[in-house]
Each structure stands twice: as structure tokens, then as C-alpha cells.
Amino acid sequence: MVSGRRLQPLSAEPHEGSALSNDEESSERAREALLREIAQEVLETSDLLGKSALAPRVMTAMAKVPRHEFVTGAQRLLAYENRPLPIGHGQTISQPYMVAVMTDLAAAGPGVRVLEVGTGCGYQTAVLAETGAQVTSVELVPQLADAAAERLKRLGYHDVEVHCGDGAKGWPPGAPYDAILVTAAAVGRVPPALLDQLAPGGRLVIPVERSGGRRGLFSFRPEQELLLVSKDPEGRTVERSVLPVAFVPLIEGGGGLHS
């Protein structure tokens, strides 16, 4: 599992003549510190990522999305720590470093049609949208799907589609997709429906739990790896293992499609 040091919530006195409130200025400074930490962690994992810096449009998108708007209650004070946070229903908002890396691996950008599996609170969705990608997102939990759709609309992401359904089945009405990004770990293999809905030349980013794992004194931790699956123009796929990761499980067989 790749993780970084924790950021402490920042506070700041407003500058004379500043239009920002105390809370807004504090969030802005915390976000800037988080971006520096992400850049440093990318550098430290460059041998695994195959690059020492992410695409500028990805970092710009990370800078624009207010992560504190995607969590509630006491979690807002922790919004700019570089770690996942609970969002209810047994789900989490992903670690910012991981959000940035997965967005970069998906090559999200202007005009790229992206399917996101696992909307959650909508944070990854917003980052994808900020790159200029056309985003369709599928969430299994109705309460999360409804809340994310409302939040994204409130924050100005009007062109994002959020649907409730079994993400392992993808979203056939919008296929094929230039990129598919999955925010939960599949067991053993990439769901075939997602491979079918990936366009030739497309990229699929997904954590997969492999057999084996690490057994400790009191627990067993399965091994997960982040895969980049590329499909060539003839429809053949190639997998590359990028990073060891830890994600909540992808629940398959959760029902049909819902608009």
C-alpha cells in the first residue's frame, strides 16, 4: 500500500484586504501543501510508475477540486490529509495520491470518454471532469449515487452522468469508452464486461486482488495490485502491474442497470 505522511489541518489569519474567508484560505493552503506532497510521492515511486511527474493537467485538476466538499462532519478537518477517509456505507474517499495516479494512468483529458466504476462521494469523478474528460460514473449504493449526483451538480459539474447499478457490468449505453477507471478491487480478474466496453486503443485502470496474500499473527491481508490494461487497435489486451494498493472490494452481481 502506497501512502504518505499525514498533513495537519492548517489555519491562517486572513491577509488585509483578502477576499477569502478564514476557512477558504486555510483550505487553499492545505490543498497547496497536499499537491506538494503528491508530487513528492510520485517522485519517490517513479520506478514503479515509470515517470517522475504526472501530467500537468492532472495536477491542475487536483488543485481545482475542493476535497473538503466531498466529506462531511469531522472528516472535513482531515480532507487535505493524503489518505483515504470513510464516507459511510463501508466505502471511502480515495487517497489523493492514488486519485492523481489513476487519473494520469487513464490518460484523462479533453474529449476522452471515461467510465468510472464506483462513484462513491464523487471526488474522483470531479477530478476526471476537471481534466476535460466526458465522465459517466456508476455507483452500486443508491444513497451514495444520489448524494454524489447532487454534490457534483451543486459544484458545477453539470455534464457528468451518475447512474446507480452494478459497476462490474459497466454501463453499456455509453460504450465504448476511451478509458475505464475502477475505484474498488476486483477479485482474481478484470470483469469481462469492462474489457468488452473498452474501445480499441483504450486504457483500463483497476485494482485487482490476487490469490495469496500476507498472513499476520491475527489477520490475513490479501494482495492487491493496481493494473493498467491497454487494448490495441485489434482488440488485444496487455496488462501491466503498477503499484501494490489497498481498496475496498468491488461488489459484483449487485443487480441490473438503473438510470
Q: Which residues are catalytic?
A: 94
How far, in whole angstroms, is CA 63 from its chain's centroid? 15
Distances (CA, A) of 182 to 145, 187, 207, 221: 15, 13, 7, 20
Closest of 141, 52, 157 to residue 90, by C-alpha: 141
Between vectors from CA 116 to CA 114 and to CA 119, what angle results, nearest 5°?
A: 145
Q: Are 170 and 202 in contact (CB under 8 A)?
A: no
